[in-house]
């Protein structure tokens, strides 16, 4: 395991109280694997990777749990030492965060000399190498960000994260808002980087098709917690948690024969309210009174689910395929 996240808790203090953006999330990243972190907007994906990277927003703090990187429990000092050198990060909307005033090349050189120990000359050589690595022509180093398309800017952002040869890359929604061909090209770049550099990777996305295409493992988050995790094949083919089943139904599939998309009624809970038991209760068609009491995590051999009715997972899965299971008109309209 290159990374272990254990019962991580991240709180944001806000005017309306404490928002528990990540509330006891646990997952692992095996060495050399790509782990997909999926879930609806607002369920804590960005917060989780920012916490691992040690770049939380000012009003956020780690309220509990641990992050273990290569056997070492991360505290402020180790995080600062490892940041960018061992763990790198491509922020959400990284492509719009390039400085319009400087050429992409000079921004890359800046990263290499400031964060790393490169001289300017070696930084320039390394920039060309990095551009080649992400499939950009080294001539484009002299261009300004506005001369790049969205996909090229995303490649440049990835190159910047890879500057100091990290062993773990955290990429937050690297292909969201890109159109399908560019998206595919970026995913292929990430795949080839993982193979050539033996990188481990956490890929944050809300798109399970992206997970299916690129990832080895998947971690499904809901309302600040991990509800299901395991190998991609296992989890997507035989989901055990109703939320994963719901997400799967809501997703368009170019090749399926079903011409129906089924939304999950309602929306995720407000994380500044106290929550107990399974957080999916208000939206779960399979909820039972016991579900509100507490939540349990079950499962072994890497496929884990936080559903109380895990023993009935197979029946539930069959029922979940029927669109009528998810239809509850009143809350449907609220979505």
Partner 1 sequence: MAALVELRDVVKHFPVTRSLSELVRGAHPAVRALDGVTFDVGDGDAVAIVGESGCGKTTLGRLMLKLVEPTGGAISFAGAPMAEITGEKLRAFRRQAQLVFQNPFDALNPRFTIYRAVVEPLINAGIDKAEHADRVASAFRRVHLADFDRYYDRYPHQLSGGQLQRVVMARALVLGPRFLVADEPVSMLDVSVRAGILALLREVRETMGLTAVYISHDLALVRYLCERTLVMYLGRVVEDAPTEEIVRRPRHPYTQALVAAVPVPDPDQSRAPLPIKGNVPDAREPPSGCSFRDRCPHAMPRCATETPALKPVAGGHQVACHLDTPTSP
Partner 2 sequence: MAERAEPVPARASWPLLPVLKRMAAMPLKDPFAFAGLVIYLLFVLVAVFADQLAPVDPLEILFTKAGKLAANVPPGVEFPLGTTNLGRDIYAQLVHGTRSALAVGLSAAIIVATVGTIVGLVAGYFGGTADAVLMRIADMALSLPFLPFVIVLTGFLGASTSNIVLAVALLLWPNSARVIRSQVLTLRERAYVEAARVTGASAWRILFVHIAPNILPLSFVYAAIAIGWAIITEASVSFLGFGDSTSVSWGMMLQDAFASQALSRGQYAWFVPPGICIVLVVVAGFFISRGYEEVFMPRLRGR
Other C-beta atoms within 10 Å of 141: how many?
21
Separation between Cα atoms, residue 19 and residue 140, nearest integer Å:
43
Nearer Cβ to ligand ATP (44/151): 44
* Shortest Å, Cβ 74 to ligand SF4: 31
User: Binding residue for Mg ion (CB under 5 A) from 43, 46, 60, 62?
Assistant: 46
236 binds partner 1 (CB under 8 A): yes
User: x/- site string to partner 1, residues 21 to 40, per CB under 8 A?
Assistant: -------------------x
In the chain, which residue ranges form alpha helices assigned H by DSSP?
45-53, 76-82, 104-115, 120-133, 150-161, 180-197, 208-214, 232-237, 242-250, 313-320, 329-334
Which range binds partner 1 by CB under 8 A, 76-84, 243-251, 288-296, 302-310? Answer: 243-251
What is each CA distance from 185 to 90, 136, 192, 212, in whole angstroms?
17, 12, 11, 15
Residues 6+ apart with CB under 8 A from 104: 98, 140, 141, 143, 144, 145, 148, 156
Q: Which C-beta is closer to ligand ATP: that of 223 or that of 320? A: 223
User: HSE of 232 in the Cβ direction (CA atoms, 13 Å)?
Assistant: 17
Choose the one of ligand ATP, partner 1, ligand SF4, none that binds residue 281, judging by a C-beta under 5 to 8 angstroms depending on kind.
ligand SF4
Contact with partner 1 (CB under 8 A): which of 63, 68, 250, 297?
250
- Could you say which of 175, 308, 325, 326 contacts ligand SF4 (CB under 6 A)? 308
**Between residue 37 and residue 56, which ones bind partner 2 under the rule CB under 8 A?**
40-42
The answer to whether the beta carbons of residues 166 and 88 sit under 8 Å apart is yes
DSSP states along 282-324: GG-TT--GGGGT----B--TT-EE--TTGGGHHHHHHHHTSGG
Q: Is 97 in the site for ligand ATP (CB under 6 A)?
A: no
The CA distance from 114 to 99, in Å, is: 16
Return the range that interacts with ligand SF4 (CB under 6 A); candidates 15-23, 186-194, 209-217, 281-289.
281-289
Catalog residues that contact ligand SF4 under the rule CB under 6 A.
241-242, 278, 280-281, 284, 286-288, 291, 307-309
Catalog residues that contact Mg ion under the rule CB under 5 A.
46, 92
Catalog residues that contact partner 1 under the rule CB under 8 A.
40-41, 149-152, 177, 179-185, 187-188, 206-213, 232-233, 236-237, 246-255, 259-264, 267, 329-330, 332-335
């Amino acid at each position: 395991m290159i990374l272990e996240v254990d019962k991580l808790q991240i709180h944001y203090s806000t005017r309306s109280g404490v928002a528990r953006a990540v509330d006891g999330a646990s997952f692992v990243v095996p060495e050399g694997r790509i782990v997909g972190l999926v879930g609806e907007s607002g369920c804590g994906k960005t917060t989780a990777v920012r916490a691992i990277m040690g770049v939380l927003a000012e009003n956020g703090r780690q309220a509990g749990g641990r992050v273990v990187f290569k056997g070492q429990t991360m505290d402020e000092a180790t995080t600062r030492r490892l940041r960018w050198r061992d763990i790198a990060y491509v922020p959400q909307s990284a492509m719009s965060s390039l400085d319009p005033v400087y050429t992409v090349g000079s921004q890359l050189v800046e990263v290499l000399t400031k964060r790393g120990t490169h001289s300017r000359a070696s930084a320039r050589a390394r920039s060309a190498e990095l551009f080649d690595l992400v499939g950009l022509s080294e001539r484009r180093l002299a261009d300004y960000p506005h001369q790049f398309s969205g996909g090229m800017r995303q490649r440049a952002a990835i190159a910047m994260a890879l500057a100091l040869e990290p062993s773990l890359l955290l990429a937050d929604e690297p292909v969201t808002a890109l159109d399908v061909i560019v998206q595919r090209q970026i995913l292929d770049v990430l795949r080839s980087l993982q193979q050539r550099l033996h990188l481990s990777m956490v890929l944050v996305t809300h798109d399970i098709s992206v997970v299916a295409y690129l990832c080895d493992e998947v971690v499904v988050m809901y309302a600040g917690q991990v509800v299901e995790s395991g190998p991609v094949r296992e989890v997507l083919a035989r989901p055990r948690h109703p939320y994963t089943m719901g997400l799967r139904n809501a997703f368009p599939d170019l090749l399926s024969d079903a011409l129906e998309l089924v939304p999950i009624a309602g929306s995720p809970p407000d994380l500044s309210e106290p929550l107990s038991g399974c957080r999916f209760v208000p939206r779960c068609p399979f909820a039972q009174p016991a579900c509100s009491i507490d939540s349990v995590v079950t499962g072994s051999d890497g496929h884990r689910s936080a559903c109380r009715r895990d023993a009935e997972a197979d029946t539930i899965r069959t029922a979940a395929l029927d669109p009528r299971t998810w239809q509850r008109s009143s809350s449907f309209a609220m979505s």
